[in-house]
Amino acid sequence: MKNIIAFTGSNNPNSINKKLVKYIINKFPDKNIEFLDLTLYNVPIYSQAIEKEGIPEPIKKLFKLFTETEAFIIASPEHNGLPTAFLKNILDWLSRIDQKFLGEKPVLLLSTSPGAVGGKTHLQTLSKLVKLWGGLLVGQYSLGSFNQKFNIDTSLIIDFEENRKLEKVVNALFRGESIITKNNITVVKDYFSAFQSGDMDAVLNSFHTDCYIVSVKEEERPKEQLHGIYRSKSEAKQLLINITTLFNTKDFTVNNVMAGDGNLVISSGSFSHEVKVTGKLFNSTWVQLCVIEDEKIKEYRFYEDSAAFVAASIL
C-alpha cells in the first residue's frame, strides 16, 4: 500500500490510544503510515440546522484525505462502552458527505485502556459501523493494562505476546486481508455443536493450551473422577474421557448462550445421560461459564445437579 491514514478518536493531548498509534508508525517506518490529528479539524457538534448552512470546510478537507488514502488505522478510546463523542461527531459529519466515507478500503480497529479489557467491548459496536461506513474490516486489537504493558519512556509495548498479536493484525492490514476472529459467543456455540455431534477432537480443540477447568467442584480429584479441577488441554482430554466412559448421552440441549462481562460467556441448558454402570438416567439442568482468550476456552466452569448424578449411579 502506498499510504495509510492512522488516527485516534481522542481529543486528549496525552491520549494513550495516540501513543499506541505512534508505536505502530515507528515500528513499521517503511509502510507510509501517516498520523492524522483529528483535533486540528475543529467543527461544531453536528445538527441539521448547522448542516443547512453547509458542510464545514475542515470536514471537506478531511473527506478529501479519506478519498486519497488506501487504508485506515483507527484507535478508539472507550467511554462508557461506546466510542467517544469527539470521534462520533467527526464521523457524523463525514457521513453527511457520503455514508460510505471509508470508501471500501481496509480498516484496522484498535483500542487500549488502563483496564484489563483494553476497550475491547465497544470495538464490537464499531466493527458493525465500519461496514455501514463502507470499510473493509481486516481485524481488531485491544491492549489491556496499558500502564503495565507499555513503557512510556521508550514508547514500546514490552509484552511479547501482545506484540505478536499486534503484528498479526497490522500485517493483515498491509496485505488487505481479513483475519477477523470469531467472537466469544461463536467460540462457545462451536464447542456445543462439536459436543452434540460427538466430535470430541473438535471439542478438545476448543480449549486453550493453558485452560483451567472446574467440573462442579473446585477441588483436586483422582484421575478418573469426573468432578473436580482439570488443568491444561491434556487434562481437558481426560475430562472428555471421563464423560464418555461414564455416560451414554441421550440428549444435550442448549437453551441460552450470552455474553457476560469482558470475555465471559454464560450458557445454560439441560441434559439426559444414561449412566453406563447402572443403566439409569441422569437428568439435570446445567450452567456453564467460559472465559475466552484467542478464540479458545481459557477458563471453563460447569455446574450440574451432582445429587442426581449420585442417585443415578447407585446400583
Q: Provide the residue ranges of all domains of the chain, joining segments of one domain with +.
A: 4-175, 184-313
Give me the pLDDT at residue 183, please.
80
Residue with the three cell numbers 452434540? 196
Locate 261 and state its grid cell.
462481562
Residue with the three cell numbers 453527511? 96
Give the mean pLDDT of the chain: 93
Q: How much is the pTM?
A: 0.61
Mean pLDDT of 217-234: 95
Angle at 123 between CA 119 and CA 127, to 5 degrees: 170
Q: Read off the pLDDT of residues 48-72 as tens digits, 9 standing for 90 and up.
A: 999 999 999 999 999 999 999 999 9
Percentage of residues of the chain with pLDDT beyond 70: 98
CB 231 within 8 A of CB 223: no
**184-313 maps to CATH 3.10.450.50:** yes
CB 273 within 8 A of CB 265: no
CB 263 within 8 A of CB 291: yes
CB 214 within 8 A of CB 302: yes
Lowest mean pLDDT, pick from 14-18, 66-70, 177-181? 177-181
Helix 160-175 × helix 16-27 angle, to 10°: 70
CB 275 within 8 A of CB 249: no
Is the pLDDT confidence value at 116 over 90?
no
Mean pLDDT of 288-295: 92
Is the pLDDT confidence value at 230 over 60?
yes
Per-residue b/e over 86-100, b at no fewer than 16 CB within 10 Å?
bbbbbbebbbeeeee
Whole-angstrom Cα distance, residue 143 to residue 120?
Answer: 8
The architecture (CATH level 2) of 4-175 comes to 3-Layer(aba) Sandwich (3.40)
Give me the pLDDT at residue 283, please.
98
CB 124 within 8 A of CB 109: no
